[in-house]
Structure 1
Amino acid sequence: MHKVTRFFWFCSGAHIATLKKYPIEHNKYVGIGATIFFTALFAALSGGYAMYFVFAGNAMAVIFAILFGLLWGTAIFNMDRYIVSSINKEGTTNQQIMQASPRILLAIMIGVVISRPLELKIFDKEIRQKLKVAYTKGQNRRLDTLELAYKQKYAMELGKNNDLKKEKDSLEKDINRSRFQLNQEVFGDKTNQTSGITGYGTYAKQKQAVLDEKQARLKTVTDDLGQMDDYLAARKDYEGLTNMRQYTNKQLDSLANVAGFADRNWALGQITYNDNGTRDLDTYLAVSFIGYLFILFECLPVFVKLMSPKGPYDVALAKVSEANMHFAERDKERDMAATDQLFDHNLSTDVERKKKLISGQSDYDLERYRYD
């Protein structure tokens, strides 16, 4: 427990040597340090999960996710540790709030960033279903677009094909009717269309000729229709309509599995709406409160530091800081004094040399002075 306590003190950014002197402050900074640590842990999990989807399908996806998760968690840990440790408790409440405002805004943004990937995992089942629906609708729209473009491009050929089909249907009906009338004529059935004379006579031959003519025309129309169908089928292949099919359930599952971060993030926003476009309040509140929870969790170390009263550790830390500044100023003054003393010494030496020159020193000393 001693090692765990020291670790959480380190996480809180406290000055451990000073904090040891005040046992009443120990638990407070253990709590602050633990909050910072677990916030960084959630950030590492969130960042690793997000990176896993970026490299989904890659054999190195897990390794990349672990490395990025550790890097992201360490960055958040260092940032939170700095934010909490830099809040000065010596000022008034308003001063502390003003000092912490930029840090709170930064914490909110960090909370939003680390909460989104975890929300994607929590609502994974609903996101998959929404993606399947979206992919099906998208496929239908593409099919409709291709179909419309195909019909506009080959409107003349399609119109001719429809005319041939109508003519073929009409000929088939006429041929069936003419064949029935021919049978009535041959067997001597008296009607408005037959003579009533049994046998294959003149009227029967006339009806046979009409029937043969219609059958010949039907053959021509059928051949033309077959050629037109083959042509239109080839055009469908060329335009890509033949290969476009509705996704099967297995294909939809595969697409949902390999969906990227952007698609899943979009689907997470869409699950808060019903099919008719109205807001699903229950789902919306569930998604929102999970995000708010992580934002609060990220801001919690700052709030704890702001809400905690000024304790003996804060007073002692302020005194240590003031003493360090005093020592720094003293050392600075000593360095400046030493510099001035050295300058004065050099200046006095220079004056002595000038005096010797004036009093008639040798040319050698003069040259040496010039060289110096």
Structure 2
Amino acid sequence: MDKITRFFWFCSGTHVDTLKKYPIEHNKYVGIGATIFFTALFASLSGGYAMYFVFNGDGFAVGFAILFGLLWGFAIFNMDRYIVSSINKEGTTNQQILQASPRILLAIMIGLVISRPLELKIFDKEIRQKLKSAYLKGQHSKIDTLQKTYNEKYSMELAKNADLKKEKDSLEKDINRSRTQLNEEVFGEKNSQTSGIVGYGTYAKQKQSVLKEKEDRLKLVTQNADNMDQYLSSRKEYEGVNSTRLFSDHQLDSLAKIAGFADRNWALGQLSYNENGTRDVDTYLAISFIGYLFILFECLPVFVKLMSPKGPYDVAIAKTYEANVYYAERDKERDIEVIDSVYKDHVDEDIKRRRNTLSNRTGHDRDWHRYD
């Protein structure tokens, strides 16, 4: 327990030697340190899972996830430890809140970042179902778009083909009627369309000639319609209309499994809405609750430090800080005095040396004048 206590003291960023003198403060800083540690632990797990998701399928995905998780957790831990330990309890409440406000804003951002990968994991089943519906709907839309483009591009050919088929149907009906009338004429059945004379006479030959013309026309129309069908079929293949099919259940499962972060993140956002576009309050609150929980957890170290009253440890740290500042200023002044003294001695020595040099040079010139 003593080792655990010391570890959490270290996590809280306290000065251990000073804190030992005030047992009443021990539990408070154990709680602050534990909050900082577990915040960094959750950040490490979330960051590791996010990196594993990014490199999913890679042989080094686990290694990347562990490395990034440790780095991310250590960064959050170090930042929390520094900011919490730097909050000055000597100031007023407003000053402390103002001092902690950048950390609170940063905690909101960090909470959103580290909660998103866990939300993706928690709602994985619902996300896959939403992705399957979206992929199937997208495939329907793609097929409809291809079909619409094909119809617009080959509208003249399609209209001509429809006219040929319509004419073919009309000719087939006429030929059937003409054959019936020919048979009635040959067998001598009397009606408004026949003469009533038995045998293959003049009227029968006329009807046979008309039937022959219609059959020839039907043959030509049928051939043209078949040629047009072949042409349009080849155009469908070229435009991709025939090759595009709806996804099977197995294909949808595979697509949802390998979906990227952007698709999964979009699907998670869509879970908060119903099919008709209205807000699904239950799902929205469930997703939001996880994000709010991590934001609160990120802000806890700062809140705990702000809510805790000023204790003897804070007073001792403040006095130690003031004493250190005083000694630092005094040492600075002493250093300046020493530097000034050394500089003055150096300047005096330099002036003396210059004077001696000048005196020697003057005496030397005087000797030359005497020689002349």
1:6-25 matches, cutoff 5 A: 6-25=6-25
Counterpart in 2 of 1:208?
208
Aligned mates of 1:206, 1:66 — CA distance in 2: 95
Aligned mates of 1:3, 1:211 — CA distance in 2: 110
Q: Does 1:302 align with 2:278?
A: no
Q: Which amino acid aligns with 1:245?
A: R
Q: 1:354 to 1:257 in 2, by over 3 A?
A: same
1:36-55 matches, cutoff 5 A: 36-55=36-55
1:151 Cα offset (Å): 1.3
Q: Which amino acid aligns with 1:16?
A: V
CA RMSD of aligned residues (A): 2.2
Aligned mates of 2:39, 2:69 — CA distance in 1: 13
Aligned mates of 1:363, 1:270 — CA distance in 2: 102
Task: Give the secondary structure class of the aligned counterpart of 2:102.
Answer: helix
More deviation, 264-273/135-144: 135-144
Q: Does 1:319 align with 2:280?
A: no
Counterpart in 2 of 1:220?
220
Query: Does the 8 A contact of 1:9 with 1:29 survive in 2?
Result: yes
1:70-149 matches, cutoff 5 A: 70-149=70-149
Aligned mates of 1:107, 1:148 — CA distance in 2: 51
1:356 Cα offset (Å): 4.1
1:361 Cα offset (Å): 8.3
1:323 Cα offset (Å): 2.2
Q: Which amino acid aligns with 2:21?
A: K
Aligned mates of 1:231, 1:174 — CA distance in 2: 28
More deviation, 282-291/302-311: 282-291
Query: Does the 8 A contact of 1:120 with 1:268 survive in 2?
Result: yes
Counterpart in 1 of 2:345?
345
Q: 1:162 to 1:58 in 2, by over 3 A?
A: farther
Q: 1:301 to 1:172 in 2, by over 3 A?
A: same
Counterpart in 1 of 2:59?
59
Q: Which amino acid aligns with 2:175?
A: I
Q: 1:235 to 1:358 in 2, by over 3 A?
A: closer
Q: Which amino acid aligns with 1:279?
A: R
1:192 Cα offset (Å): 2.6
1:326 Cα offset (Å): 2.3
Task: Give the secondary structure class of the aligned counterpart of 2:194.
Answer: coil
1:360 Cα offset (Å): 5.1
Q: Which amino acid aligns with 2:51?
A: M
Q: 1:153 to 1:201 in 2, by over 3 A?
A: same
1:12 Cα offset (Å): 1.4
Aligned mates of 1:352, 1:244 — CA distance in 2: 101
Q: Does 1:233 align with 2:272?
A: no
Query: Does the 8 A contact of 1:57 with 1:258 survive in 2?
Result: no
Aligned mates of 2:22, 2:95 — CA distance in 1: 25
Query: Does the 8 A contact of 1:272 with 1:281 survive in 2?
Result: yes
Q: Which amino acid aligns with 1:191?
A: N
Aligned mates of 2:296, 2:363 — CA distance in 1: 84
Task: Give the secondary structure class of the aligned counterpart of 2:222.
Answer: helix
Aligned mates of 2:4, 2:199 — CA distance in 1: 116
1:331 Cα offset (Å): 2.4
More deviation, 191-200/22-31: 191-200
Post-superposition Cα deviations, 1:278-311, rounded to whole Å, max 9, x if no partner, equal 1111111111122111111111111010000111
Aligned mates of 2:46, 2:5 — CA distance in 1: 26
Query: Does the 8 A contact of 1:50 with 1:261 survive in 2?
Result: no
Post-superposition Cα deviations, 1:197-246, rounded to whole Å, max 9, x if no partner, equal 44444433333332232222222111111111111111112212122111
Task: Give the secondary structure class of the aligned counterpart of 2:279.
Answer: coil
- Scaled by the length of structure 1, the TM-score of the pair is 0.91
- Which structure 2 residue ranges, 5 or more long, are not aligned? 365-372
Q: 1:221 to 1:62 in 2, by over 3 A?
A: farther
More deviation, 226-235/13-22: 13-22
Post-superposition Cα deviations, 1:329-363, rounded to whole Å, max 9, x if no partner, equal 23222222221221122133234435545665898
Matched residue count: 364
Counterpart in 2 of 1:370?
none
Counterpart in 1 of 2:32?
32
Q: 1:347 to 1:250 in 2, by over 3 A?
A: same
Counterpart in 2 of 1:269?
269
Aligned mates of 2:327, 2:335 — CA distance in 1: 12
Counterpart in 1 of 2:290?
290
Aligned mates of 1:56, 1:194 — CA distance in 2: 84
More deviation, 240-249/269-278: 240-249
Counterpart in 2 of 1:162?
162
